[in-house]
Amino acid sequence: MNVALGDPVVFLAFWISFARWTAVLMQIPLFDNVSVPGIVKILTSFLISFAFFPHLQGTLVAEVRTVGTENIWILIMFHTTAGLIIGFLVKCIMSLFIATGSILTQQIGFASVSYFDPTQGQQVGPFERLIEWTMIILVLSSGALVPMFRGVFQSFYSVNFAHADKLLKTPEYFVLFFKSAFSAAVLLAGPLIFANLLMNLVFGIVARTVPQMNVLMVSFVVNIGLGLLLFLGIAEEFFQVSFDLYVEKLGEWFQFLTNN
C-alpha cells in the first residue's frame, strides 16, 4: 500500500507548528514534570497543534513557500527556538514562587531539610513544593492558562520568520523581566525575612545579657516555631498576592508577544 501526501507544503507547515507547540508545552507547569510520560506530552502537543492549525495554516504555509521546502530545517530551528524562549519565560514566572519557597525555607531554619524529588529530578525543600503545587492548583482552577495558550497562538503572527529580528531588539524586556521576578520573590518572602531579622536582634541582646544561655539552640527552635506560625497567619494573603503577581507577569508576557 502506497501512502502519499496530498500537499507537502501544508504537511510541513503543520510540522513547524507542532515543533513550536511542543517546545512551549514541555516547559509549562505539569508538563515539565518527569513523571508525565513522554508519549502523553507528544500526543497532547499533537492535539493542540491540530486544533489551532486551521487558524495558523495561512501564515505558516506562506513561511514555507518563502524559504522553500528544501530549506524547511531553517523554519523548524527558528520555531523550536522561539517556542523554547516563550516557554522558558512562562516557566520563569512559576520559578519565582519556587525561589520564594527557597528563601522561606532558609529563613525559618529548614535549609538543611531537603529531599530528592523524582518528579522534578532535583533537590527541593518543604516550602518550595508546597508553594509550587498550591500555585499550580490556583492557576488551573482559575483558568489562568487560557491567556497563555492565546499568547502562544498570537506569537505565530508576531514572532515569525519574517520578523525574526524583533526578539533581538527587545533585550530590555528580558532584563526587566528577570529583575521583577527577583523583586517579587523577595517581596513575597518579606514578612518572614523581617521577622527573622527581628528575632536575631532580640537574641543578640539576650546573648549579651544572659551569656550562660545557649542562644544558638534556643534561637533554632524559636525561629522554626515562630516562622511556621507567622506563615500560617499570612498564608491566605500570601497566596492571594502570589496569584495576583502570576497574573500580572503573565499579562506582561502576553503584551510582549502581541506587541512584538
In the chain (260 residues long), the average pLDDT of successive 10-residue segments reads 58 89 83 73 89 88 85 87 86 80 74 56 67 79 79 84 66 74 81 81 78 71 77 81 82 75
Contact 158, 260 (CB under 8 A): yes
Determine the Cα–Cα distance for residues 26 and 72; give it in Å rounded to an integer: 22
Cα–Cα distance for residue pair 78/255, rounded to 1 Å: 21
In terms of C-beta density within 10 A (0-12 exposed, 13-18 middle, 19 or more buried), how is residue 172 classed? exposed
pLDDT at position 124: 63
Is the Cα dihedral 14, 18, 24, 28 positive or negative? positive
pLDDT given at position 3: 34
Q: What totals of helices (H) and strands (E) does the chain contain, helices first?
A: 8, 2
- Contacts with 52 (C-beta within 8 Å, 6 or more apart), sequence order: 17, 21, 153
User: What is this structure's pTM?
Assistant: 0.75
pLDDT confidence of residue 4: 41
AA identity, residue 117: D
**106 burial level (CB within 10 Å; 0-12, 13-18, 19+):** middle
Neighbours of 75 (CB within 10 A): 24
Helix axes 215-259, 72-108, angle to 10 degrees: 150
pLDDT at 167: 63
Return the residue matching grid coordinates 514555507: 64
Specify whether the backbone of 257 is left (phi greater than 0), alpha (psi in -120 to 50) or beta: alpha
Decide: 114 and 123 in contact? Cβ < 8 Å: yes
CA separation for the pair 29, 91 (Å, rounded): 7
